Chains A and B, each alone.
Chain A
Amino acid sequence: MKRSILFWLSLALLVVALYLIFGYAPIEQTMGIVQKIFYLMVPMGWLALLSFLTVFVGSILYLKTKAPKWDILAYSAAEVGLVFTTLALVSGSIWAKPVWGVWWTWEPRLTATLVLWLIYLAYFMVRSFTAEESRGATFAAIVGIVGFIDIPIIALATTLWRGMHPGAVIFKGGLAPPMLLTLLVSLAAFTVLYSFILRQRISLRNDEIEIKKMKGL
C-alpha cells in the first residue's frame, strides 16, 4: 500500500518539476536552454551520494549484527546508486558538450563521480568473485565503508587538482529564486522516486533470496 502512495507521489512531483523546469524557470542567459540539464544533473548527484550513505550505514550495521536485512539494504542501495551515478555521468557529459565543447572534461565533480562509479563497481565485483555468499557480503560491506569515507578526500583532491578552490562552483554568483525553487522541487521529486525504487529493489532482493533458499533445499 505504502509503496503505491510513494509511486503516485513521485509521479505527481515529477510532473510538477517538469512544468517548473520548462514552463517556469527562466532560460539562463549565457548557457541558454542547455542549462536545464542542471535540474536533472544535481538530483542525480545528490541521489548517488544518498545511496552511498545508505550503503555505508547498511554496511556498518551488517558487520555489527550480521543480519542479512542490512546486507540487503546495502546491496539494493548500491545498485540503485550505481544507476544514478551512471546517469549523473551521462548528464554531466551532455552538459559538458555545449558548455566546454567536449563530451568529457576532467572537471573536478565529474572526475570525482567517475572515481566513485569505479569504487562501487568494485563493490559488486568483490561479491561475484567470492565463493561463499556471506563472505562476499562481508567483503562488499568493507568496500562500502572504505568507499564512502574516501568520498570527501577524493572530492577535495580532484578540486585542488584542477586549481579550483573547494566550494560550490555551480552556485557561484547565486541562483535566481525561480531557479532555486525549480531545483528544490526537482530534488524532492527525485528523492521520493528514489525511495520508491529502493523499496522495490529491496523487496525484489528478498524474493530473490527466498527463491535461492527454496532451490537450495
Chain B
Amino acid sequence: MRFWGKVITITWKDTLSEIRTKEIISSVLVFTLLVIVIFNFAFAANREIMKLVAPGILWATFAFAGVLSLNRSFVPEKEQGCLEGLMLCPVGREVIYVGKMLGSLLFMLVIEMIALPIFTFLFNLPVLSLQMVTIALLATIGFVSVGTLFAALAVNTKARELVLPVLFLPVVVPVIIGAVEASRLALAGEPWSRLTSWLGIIAAFDVIFLVVSYLVFPFVIEE
C-alpha cells in the first residue's frame, strides 16, 4: 500500500540516522541507568521495600526516558528546514506523523529491551516476563502516540526542552498509573485476569490518542 510505503520510508530515514549517530539510544540509556541508580539510593535498597517500589521506579524511569528521547525526535527536522522538505513531498501530513511515531516507538522499545534486563539484574526481580513485555509494549505505544504530537509542537516553541514534559507528563498519567499497577500485579505473580482492567485502560488510551493525534497533527506542523 502506498501509505505504508511512505511511512516506512520516513521511519527508515530516522532509523538510519540513529544507527549512524546512536545519539538518542545511547544518551537515553545512560540516563536510564543513572535514574535507576539514584532511585536505589532514594529507597535504601532493602529487598522488601524494593519489591513495593520497583514498579514505580521502572515507570518513572521510562516516562522520563520517553520525554528525553521524544524531545530529540523533531530536532533534526528543524535543522536545515527538513520538516518543510517533508511537507513538500506528495504525501499527506498524517504520513509524517505515523512515520515519526513508529521511529520513536522503535527507539523506545530498543531502550526498554536493554533496560529491562539491567533492571532484573540490579533489583533481583523477575522483570522479564510475557506480562511485563506486554505492559511495556502497550504503555510505550501510549507514550509515543501523544508524545510525537507534543514533540512536533514543542520543537516550534521557544523552550522545547521545557514544553514537552509539561504537556506530556500530565496527559500520560493514565498510562503511568495503569503501567505501574499492572506491573505491580505482574511482579507479584498474579494471573492475566487480574491485569485486564489496567491493560484495558492503557489500550483504550493508545487507540484514542493514536486517532486523535493522527487527526490533529497536520495543524501542528502547518503555520
Contact = CB atoms under 8 A, between A and B. Distances in A.
Given A153-B204, A153-B205, A153-B208, A147 B171 contact: yes
Interface in A92-106: none
A154 B208 CA distance: 13
Interface stretch (B86-94, B172-180, B186-194): B172-180
Given A125-B163, A146-B149, A161-B177, A119 B171 contact: yes
Interface in B131-172: 146, 149, 153, 156-159, 162-163, 166-167, 169-171
A146 B163 contact: no
Given A125-B166, A126-B167, A145-B216, A154 B198 contact: no
A181 B136 CA distance: 48
Contacts of A63: 216, 219
Given A129-B157, A142-B220, A161-B181, A115 B173 contact: yes
Given A149-B208, A157-B174, A161-B177, A142 B197 contact: no
Contact of B220 (A139, A156, A157): A139
B171 A129 contact: no
Contacts of A132: 223
A131 interface: yes
Interface in A76-130: 115, 118-119, 121-122, 125-126, 129-130
A153 B219 CA distance: 24
A135 interface: yes
A143 interface: yes
Contacts of A129: 157-159, 162-163
A131 B166 CA distance: 18
B201 A119 contact: no
B118 interface: no
A141 interface: yes
A31 interface: no
A142 B149 contact: yes
Nearest to A123: B167
A126 B153 CA distance: 9
Interface in A39-69: 63
Given A135-B156, A142-B216, A153-B201, A158 B177 contact: yes
Interface of B: 146, 149, 153, 156-159, 162-163, 166-167, 169-171, 173-174, 177-178, 181, 197-198, 201, 204-205, 208-209, 212-213, 216, 219-220, 223
* In the A-B complex, the 7 residue pairs with the closest CB atoms: A157-B174, A118-B170, A129-B157, A153-B174, A157-B177, A119-B170, A122-B167
